[in-house]
Chain A
């Protein structure tokens, strides 16, 4: 059985809050969490893409995952909210600091482009408004073939009853077109009390129209495939290299820092795809 992951925990600058969130996730049994940085480009202002804060600065010691006696793994993730095609720049160097890359398209055209062309890992489904478009079969199937997954986050459904309606409606309409495959369920939690245990989320998946098996996959094995997809995304034709160092510093963050430096085979833009 694959381990449980929660690939969306909202970032906040407050250190104590992040510590509590990560501890709560570990206590509930999540083996991996991803801290989500939302980047929403505006038409007028020019905003900087956020830089991920090193995990060491957010939490002193990584808590042990319940039932696994192993520390939790913390990833960084960037979500780009797109309302225009210029908002997502493929091959931007700022994106390379993040482990996972997600987009949230707001129009049908951008949704199509995100599914078929963009080099991302996750496509977020909006849960705060009624969907302005239908999920068409062609882009959804295209995304499934490329290994891109769709994400439904549930914490808006806990906070507010109208958003609960939108969450369920959008999730059900997504599940109808993708038949329960390539979907992940994540929290988007800002507070520890907005997190729910992995089995609770599995049960919630049944409410969203997933089958029992698919619902469990949505918190475990699909998440794993997203992380693997993200690892192979940065390199050319899926080649992954690691460097073994003999220093005593923690392995995970070092590997990430080394990756930022001089990667040998970076993926080139495919001109016929990115246009």
Chain B
């Protein structure tokens, strides 16, 4: 654009409304185990989640694509990315996972959001006092 035009036209206001802008959902989960000293590698965790998916939804469920974006072995906290269509399937299979290698376990879903940026803060853990 030439400089002359830029001076003629004032600053442009443009309003863009996006519906369902993000194709993904991001989940922040923590694995709570009965024996807290157990450690899983990232591969074992993903394998465990896939087992949960296949036990609830069968082979079709196990084929659901999701990614383990970030994983902290010390706190067993993981960041998952899944297509929005598969969110309910992945979440419900995490909910119904009850045992890992013959010990009780539970996935605590800390946050779910379509935007990764939203996972930086957590409104549930705000100090209200």
Interface residues of A (CB under 8 A from B): 28-29, 66-69, 157-159, 161, 164, 191, 193-197, 199-201, 203-204, 206-207
Contact = CB atoms under 8 A, between A and B. Distances in A.
A161 B51 CA distance: 13
B91 A197 contact: no
Nearest to B122: A67
Given A196-B106, A203-B88, A206-B88, A158 B128 contact: no
Contacts of A195: 106
Given A67-B126, A193-B104, A195-B106, A158 B91 contact: no
B106 A193 contact: yes
A66 B98 contact: no
B124 A196 contact: no
B91 A203 contact: yes
B118 interface: no
Contacts, number: 54
A130 B129 CA distance: 48
B42 interface: no
B5 interface: no
B71 to A, nearest CB: 20
Interface string B74-107: 0000000000000010011011111000001110
Nearest to B33: A193
A66 B125 contact: yes
Contacts of A200: 91, 94-95, 109
Given A67-B124, A207-B88, A193 B34 contact: yes
B116 interface: no
Contacts of A157: 96
A219 to B, nearest CB: 13
A212 to B, nearest CB: 10
B88 A193 contact: no
Contacts of B123: 67
Nearest to A158: B98
A29 B98 contact: no
Nearest to A167: B96
B79 to A, nearest CB: 17
B62 interface: no
A103 to B, nearest CB: 27
A200 B29 CA distance: 11
Contacts of A66: 124-125
Nearest to B127: A69
A67 B128 contact: yes
B22 interface: no
B106 A194 contact: yes
Contacts of B49: none
26 contacts: A29-B124, A67-B123, A67-B128, A68-B128, A69-B128, A69-B129, A157-B96, A158-B95, A158-B97, A158-B98, A159-B98, A164-B56, A164-B96, A193-B105, A193-B106, A194-B98, A194-B106, A197-B109, A199-B112, A200-B94, A201-B95, A203-B91, A204-B92, A204-B95, A204-B96, A206-B92
A103 B92 CA distance: 28
A215 to B, nearest CB: 11
A20 to B, nearest CB: 12
